[in-house]
Chains A and B, each alone.
Chain A
C-alpha cells in the first residue's frame, strides 16, 4: 500500500502539492499551526494514495517522502 510522509514542521503551506495530487486527498489543515508558523499540508485518506509522487515532485522544500 502506498503512503506519503510529510515532515510537517518544514512545510510552508504553499499548497502546490494540493494542486498536484490526482486523487485530491492532500489539503491544507487550517486548524494546525506548525513550528515555523504555517498551516501545513496533510493527507485526509491515506488508503486512496496511489504513490505517484506528484505531490513530492512539486514540493519546493523536500517535505514529502513517498513509499509504496
Chain B
C-alpha cells in the first residue's frame, strides 16, 4: 500500500523556525489560519494579514501571504483600509490581548460596530507576553503577573474585560466565538471556528472574530504541561468557551 502524507506544514506558512517560547501555543494558531485558508481554496496571493505589536509582531515573517505591520492596537483600522481597497482579498488581523483589549480597544469596538468585512484572530493569554509578563486587561482575578505580584486584586486593579461577551452586544458583528488550544480536541474545535469566520468573510457577511485562549508558560511561570492545565482549570472557568454571536 502506498504511503500518504496525512499531516504536514501548510504552504501558507513559511518554512522557518518560530521565535515563540517552548509550550507557547501561538504557533498552533498560526498553523490553523494557514490550514483553514488552504482548505477554503484561498491561495497566498489572495490573503493579506495584519500583524500586531506584541509577541506575534514577527507574524509577517511566518506567513507566505502579504502582511502589514500595524502600530500598537491599530490592526483593525489597517485591516479596514486594506479590505476597502481590496474587497476581493481575504483580510485578517492577528492580535494579542494587550494589543486588542487595551491600547486597541477603540479600534476593535468601532471596526466591529461598523461590521467591517474582515476576520480578527484574538489571542488571549491573559498577560503581556513580550514586555515581560505585566498585568493585561484580561488578567484573571488572583492571577500573578509582574505588576500584580500578590495576584490581581479587584479593589486595586479592577475587573478583567470579557471581549467576546462585550462585542457580542453590538449589532454589527456577524460571528464571535471563543475557543481554546489546551488539548488536541479543542485545537480541532478552534480550527472549525476559524474556518467558519473566514467562510463568513468570503460570503461577504461582515465582521468575524475568534478569541483563542493561549498558554504563556514563560510569563505564567509554569512548565508547558502545567500551563495547558491552567487554561483548563482556571482560564476556561473565567472565560467560558462557546459561540457568542452567530447571525448565520
Contacts and interface: CB of A to CB of B under 8 A. Distances in A.
The yes or no verdict on A and B being binding partners is yes
Nearest to B29: A60
Interface in B109-153: none
B6 A53 contact: yes
Contacts of B27: 59-62
B193 to A, nearest CB: 15
B3 interface: yes
Interface residues of B, number: 28
13 contacts: A12-B21, A12-B23, A14-B22, A16-B225, A53-B6, A59-B28, A60-B18, A60-B24, A60-B27, A60-B31, A66-B6, A66-B8, A68-B3
A50 to B, nearest CB: 11
B17 A65 contact: no
B184 A57 contact: yes
Interface in B198-218: 217
Interface string A13-24: 111100110000
Given A10-B17, A14-B224, A16-B228, A60 B28 contact: yes
A67 B4 contact: yes
Interface of B: 3-9, 13, 17-18, 20-28, 31, 183-184, 187-188, 217, 224-225, 228
A32 interface: no
A64 B31 CA distance: 12
Contacts of A54: 184
B5 A58 contact: no
Max count, chain B CB within 10 A of own CB: residue among A14, A65, A66: A14
Nearest to A65: B8
Contact of A56 (B7, B22, B23, B24): B7
Given A62-B31, A68-B4, A16 B17 contact: no
Give 3 nearest A-B pairs by CB, closest first: A60-B27, A12-B22, A14-B23
Contacts of A14: 22-23, 217, 224
Contact of A67 (B5, B31, B188, B228): B5
Contacts of B225: 15-16, 19
Contact of B13 (A51, A62, A66): A62
Contacts of B224: 14-16
Contact of B183 (A20, A62, A67): A20
B227 to A, nearest CB: 9
B155 to A, nearest CB: 36
Contacts of B20: 60-61
Contact of B26 (A12, A60, A64): A60
Contacts of B217: 14
B32 to A, nearest CB: 9
